[in-house]
Amino acid sequence: MPSPPVIAIVVPCFNEEAVLPFSIPKLLAILARMAQQSLASPDSYILCCDDGSRDATWKIISDLHLRDRRVKGISLAHNRGHQYALLAGLMTAKDHCDAAISIDADLQDDTDAIIEMVRRFISGKEIVFGVRDDRTSDSWFKRTTAHAFYSLQRKMGIETIYDHADFRLMSQRALELLSEYGESNLFLRGIVPQLGLESDTVSYARKQRAAGESKYPLVRMLSFSIDGITSFSARPMRWVFFTGLILLAIDLLVGIYVGFSILYSDKLEAGWASILLSIWFLGSLILMSIGLIGEYIGKIFIEVKQRPRYAIRDILFD
Ligand code: UDP
Ligand code: MG
C-alpha cells in the first residue's frame, strides 16, 4: 500500500483573532484523526495565510507554530482579499503536499467533510468540491442573492458549482495547473472547474460563524460578484448592445405613432412626463454602459501591468 498523502489545509485569515484559537486545534484534531486512520501522512499540516490583518492574527499563528510545527503560516504585506490570500497559500503549499484543502478560518464549513474529501482524493479524484446542501444558517438575503448570482453566471456561460464556496480539495496536479493561470482578477471558483480534471463533490451543512464578524458585507459581496462575471465573460457588453437595439426599435415605433397622430388627429401629444422619463431612462442606460465598458477596461489595465498578485512579508514553514 502506498504511504498516506501529505495534506495541507490552507486557511486564509483576515482579522480572525477571535476564531483562530478555536479553529486551529479543531483542524489539528482532524489531521490527527486522519493520520490515525492512515488517510493522511503525519507530516500533513495547516497553512494559515494572514491577509494583512490588523489585529493579533499573525501573533496567534506564530505562537501556535512555536508550539506545534504542523501549524505553518505566511503573512501577506497587505490586505489583498480572500482569493489572493488563498492563492498565496495554495502556491506556497503546492510543492510541499500531495493535496491541499482550502477552508475559511471561521469553520462555517463542516470539518468532517475534510475526511470525506481526502477519501475521494485517495480513490483517484483530483478535485473535490465542498457543496452546502443546507444553508439555513445563512440569512434569507444571502441565500437568495447567492442563488441569483449562480444562475446569472450560468446564463453567461460560466461554469459554476452551485453552493460551492472556496471549500475544496485540489491535488498537486490541480495546483500545478492553477499556477499557470496568471490573471490578476482572480475568481478561483470560476477557474478551478476549467482545469478539466476529474472532480467530485461532497455535501455538508453550513454552520453559523463561531465568533468574529463576516468580512463580506453586502458591498464587498456585490463587487466580488461583479468580478466573478467580468473576469470570465464578455456577454454583459453584448446584452447592453441588444438592450440599446430594442430601445431603438421601441423609439422608432413610438416615433411612427406620433407622426401618424400629428397627421390624422388634432390631438397634440403633450408629453412632458414621457420626455423627461425617457431622458432619464436613456441617461441611466448610457451611464450603465459606460460603467460596464469601464469595468472591462479597468480589468485590462490591471492585467497588462502583470504585477505580482501578492507580496509575502513573513513565512513560517519549517
Ligand atoms: N478573508 C481574507 N481576506 C479578506 C476577507 C476575508 O482572507 O480580506 C478570509 C476570512 O478570514 C475567512 C474567509 O476569508 O477565513 C471568508 O471570510 P468570511 O467568513 O468573513 O466571509 P463569509 O463566510 O461571511 O462570506
Ligand atoms: Mg464565513
For ligand 1, whether the C-beta of 12 sits within 6 Å is yes
Instruction: Give the atom of ligand 1 at the shortest distance from the alpha carbon of 221.
Output: 25
Quote the crossing angle between the two packed helices 218-230 and 272-305, to the nearest 10°: 70
What are the C-alpha distances in Å from 36 to residues 24, 121, 218? 18, 17, 42
Please classify residue 148 by burial: count the beta carbons closer than 10 Å to its beta carbon, then call 0-12 exposed, 13-18 middle and 19+ buried: exposed
For ligand 1, whether the C-beta of 166 sits within 6 Å is no
What's residue 209's pLDDT?
A: 82
What's residue 273's pLDDT?
A: 61
DSSP type of residue 193? G
For ligand 1, whether the C-beta of 81 sits within 6 Å is yes
For ligand 1, whether the C-beta of 215 sits within 6 Å is yes
Cα 9 from Cα 47, distance rounded (Å): 6
Instruction: Give the atom of ligand 1 at the shortest distance from the alpha carbon of 86.
Output: 7
Global confidence as pTM? 0.86
Instruction: Give the atom of ligand 1 at the shortest distance from the alpha carbon of 15.
Output: 11
What are the C-alpha distances in Å from 77 to residues 49, 54, 161, 172, 284? 11, 11, 32, 26, 40
Choose which residue among 111, 215, 216 to substitute to test ligand 1 binding: the one with the highest number of ligand atoms within 8 A of its C-beta.
215
Closest by Cα among 158, 302, 308 to 225: 158
Residue 165 C-alpha to ligand 1 middle, in angstroms?
11
* ipTM associated with this complex: 0.97
Residue 199 C-alpha to ligand 2 middle, in angstroms?
24
Q: Atom 24 in ligand 1: which residue has the minimum CA distance?
A: 214
Q: Give strand ranges (E) for the chain.
A: 7-13, 45-50, 71-76, 99-102, 127-134, 168-171, 199-205, 312-316
Cα 197 from Cα 127, distance rounded (Å): 7
Closest by Cα among 165, 166, 169, 163 to 132: 163
For 62, the grid coordinates are 506564530
For ligand 1, whether the C-beta of 16 sits within 6 Å is yes
For ligand 1, whether the C-beta of 186 sits within 6 Å is no
For ligand 1, whether the C-beta of 108 sits within 6 Å is yes
- Looking at residue 267, its amino acid is K
Cα 244 from Cα 246, distance rounded (Å): 6
Closest by Cα among 139, 140, 117, 110 to 206: 110
Each residue's pLDDT tens digit in the chain (318 positions)? 589 999 999 999 999 999 999 999 999 999 999 999 999 999 999 999 999 999 999 999 999 999 999 999 999 999 999 999 999 999 999 999 999 999 999 999 999 999 999 999 999 999 999 999 877 888 888 889 889 999 998 888 888 899 998 999 999 999 999 999 999 888 999 999 999 999 999 999 888 887 888 888 888 888 888 888 888 877 787 787 788 888 888 888 888 887 887 788 766 656 766 786 788 888 888 888 888 888 888 889 888 888 899 999 999 998
Helix/strand/coil for 156: coil
For ligand 1, whether the C-beta of 85 sits within 6 Å is yes
